[in-house]
């Protein structure tokens, strides 16, 4: 019988000669899942391709065999490795391939315990506007779970030890067969640890962790605003079985200010103004985060007008130009007038009315609009 020449193993798997172990494994999985006899019953061509892929993988996944193959070709490796295949011991069931995949993803296969990264924590830090704009160092006190000293974190009563989980046999994983597929998930009884605690520690109640409080110093950069987060790496919940701890995210919340409101890098404030100053003009003192500033009021200023003080706002934590302070004028109506003051105001109003509408342009235009509406 004529023996067909074997194809190059790298060509069979569709990889280069410099492929890494991970790339070799990935290529084999792809071909195995495509051509496995369980998925292709009575397909001789698929069986042939699966056999080639399996033989190529068995050689190239072994560093010594791969080195011999790279130097001497097919003559440098054991030709008997490409023996019979099918549904017996040589090929393995289709579900075995998926089991291998899930083992790699979830860490199954063996009695080692899984390592779980600690959970992240969140803390809401309230700051005054001044602290947020200038930056500060805040002290916060947070609850944390630490390893129980009584049981050294095992969760078992002193003098006892956790026992192997009888459900998963210590693997921490259980498999569920669904047709061709084998699904692997954390054991529901031991929660993926592979261990069960018969006599729990009285201090931690079998958790291996107890809650305490710790004080941390948080450096708040200048310019933060509500919603900004500061990450403290490794200050979250501790990990399990040697895994790293989670992080602590400090969320900034700026408290309401009595004078200013903030929008991005700009500050806003209302400035009450007497109607005489608004009519005649003048200067008023207004507050800023850096102290007092003088604001010039032009003659005939109307209520609601805004005046800008450049550079008196906020510099964002992300950089960029400093914002402005926007001062909105609110004309204040006098209250609790004396008889004489009322008489003087009435005289003033009579004089204004006798001069026509030139002193009240907005009122004049409004009256014209009302007149057109009724007509």
Q: Which residue has the higher pLDDT, 193 or 84?
A: 193
Range 254-259 contact pairs with CB under 8 angstroms and sequence separation of 24 or more: 254/126, 254/127, 254/128, 254/129, 254/132, 254/224, 254/225, 254/226, 255/126, 255/127, 255/128, 255/129, 257/128, 257/129, 259/287
pLDDT tens digits, residue range 200-213?
898 888 888 888 88
pLDDT score at 92:
46
Of 101-105, 201-205, 349-353, give the range with the top mean pLDDT.
201-205
Task: Report helix, strand or coil for 120.
Answer: coil
Domains 9-92 and 261-333 share a fold: no
CA distance 177 to 331: 79
What pLDDT shows up at residue 111?
Answer: 40
Which H or E run includes 254? strand 248-254
Q: Which residue has the higher pLDDT, 111 or 259?
A: 259
Query: Among all chains, which residue has been given the structure tokens 């095992």?
Result: 154
CA 160/CA 150 separation, integer angstroms: 12
Environment class of residue 105 by beta-carbon count within 10 Å: exposed (0-12), middle (13-18) or buried (19+)? exposed
The domain locations on the chain are 9-92, 121-254, 261-333, 344-375
Poorest-confidence range of 53-67, 70-84, 155-169, 241-255?
A: 70-84
In which order are the strands placed within the sheet that holds 306-309? 261-263, 266-274, 325-332, 306-309
* Pairwise CA distance, residues 363 & 301, whole Å: 15
Backbone φ, ψ for residue 4 (5° rounding): -75, 145
For residues 299 and 279, the answer to whether their CB atoms sit within 8 Å is yes
* Torsion 169-170-174-175 (CA) sign: negative
Residues 250/229, Cβ–Cβ less than 8 Å? yes
| 195-196 vs 163-164, strand pairing mode | antiparallel
Tokens at 302, concatenated:
């109307």
CA-wise closest residue to 312 among 336, 291, 339, 340: 291
339-346 mean pLDDT: 92
Bridge partner list, 307: 327
261-333: CATH architecture: Sandwich (2.60)
What is the reported pLDDT for 221? 95
Instruction: Calculate the average pLDDT of the chain.
Output: 82
pLDDT band at residue 272 under the 50/70/90 scheme: very high
* Residue 194: closest CA among 118, 100, 108: 108
| Domain 121-254, classified CATH 2.60.40.10, yes or no | no
Predicted confidence (pLDDT) at residue 84 exceeds the cutoff of 90: no
Nearest residue to 57 (alpha-carbon basis) of 88, 93, 13? 13
pLDDT digits (tens, 9 = 90+) for 131-188: 999 999 999 998 877 778 888 878 888 888 888 888 888 887 887 766 666 677 788 8
Tokens of 32: 């195995």
DSSP structure class, residue 156: B
Residue 278 pLDDT more than 80? yes
Range with the lowest mean pLDDT among 79-88, 143-152, 238-247?
79-88
Backbone angles phi, psi at 297, to 5 degrees: -110, 115
> For the domain with range 9-92, which CATH number is right: 3.60.110.10, 3.40.50.620, 1.10.287.110, 1.20.58.1030?
1.10.287.110
Q: Which of 17-21, 34-38, 114-118, 217-221 has the highest mean pLDDT?
A: 217-221
Phi, psi torsion values for 356, nearest 5 degrees: 90, -155
Three-state SS for 136?
A: strand
Residue with tokens 């129980």: 148
DSSP assigned state of 119? P
* pLDDT score, position 184: 76
């Amino acid at each position: 019988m004529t023996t067909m020449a074997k194809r190059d193993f790298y060509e069979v798997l569709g990889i280069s000669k410099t492929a890494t172990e991970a790339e070799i494994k990935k290529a084999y999985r792809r071909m195995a899942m495509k051509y496995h006899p369980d998925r292709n019953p009575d397909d001789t061509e698929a069986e042939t391709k699966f056999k080639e892929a399996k033989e190529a993988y068995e050689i190239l996944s072994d560093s010594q065999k791969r080195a011999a193959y790279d130097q001497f070709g097919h003559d440098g490796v054991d030709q008997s490795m490409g023996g019979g295949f099918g549904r017996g011991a040589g090929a393995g069931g289709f579900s075995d391939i998926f089991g291998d995949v899930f083992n790699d993803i979830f860490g199954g296969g063996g009695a080692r315990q899984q390592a779980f990264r600690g959970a992240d924590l969140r803390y809401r830090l309230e700051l005054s506007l001044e602290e947020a704009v200038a930056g500060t160092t805040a002290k916060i006190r947070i609850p944390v779970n630490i390893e129980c000293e009584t049981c050294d974190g095992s969760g078992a009563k002193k003098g006892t030890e956790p026992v192997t989980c009888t459900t998963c046999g210590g693997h921490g994983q259980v498999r569920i067969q669904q047709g061709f597929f084998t699904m692997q998930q954390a054991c529901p009884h031991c929660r993926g640890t592979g261990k069960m605690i018969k006599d729990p520690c009285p201090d931690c109640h079998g958790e291996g962790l107890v809650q305490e409080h710790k004080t941390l110093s948080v450096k708040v950069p200048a310019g933060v605003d509500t919603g900004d987060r500061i990450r403290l790496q490794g200050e979250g919940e501790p990990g399990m079985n040697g895994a790293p701890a989670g992080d602590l995210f400090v969320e900034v919340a700026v408290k309401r200010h009595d004078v200013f409101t903030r929008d991005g890098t700009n500050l806003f404030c209302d400035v009450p103004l007497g109607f005489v100053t608004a009519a005649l003009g003048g200067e008023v003192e207004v507050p800023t985060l850096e102290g007092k500033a003088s604001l010039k009021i032009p003659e005939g200023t109307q209520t609601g007008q805004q005046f800008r003080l450049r550079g008196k706002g906020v510099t964002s934590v992300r950089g960029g130009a400093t914002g402005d302070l926007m001062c909105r004028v609110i004309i204040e109506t006098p209250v609790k007038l004396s008889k004489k003051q009322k008489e003087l105001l009435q005289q003033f109003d009579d004089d204004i009315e006798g001069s026509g509408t030139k002193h009240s342009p907005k009122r004049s235009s409004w009256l014209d609009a009302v007149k057109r509406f009724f007509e």
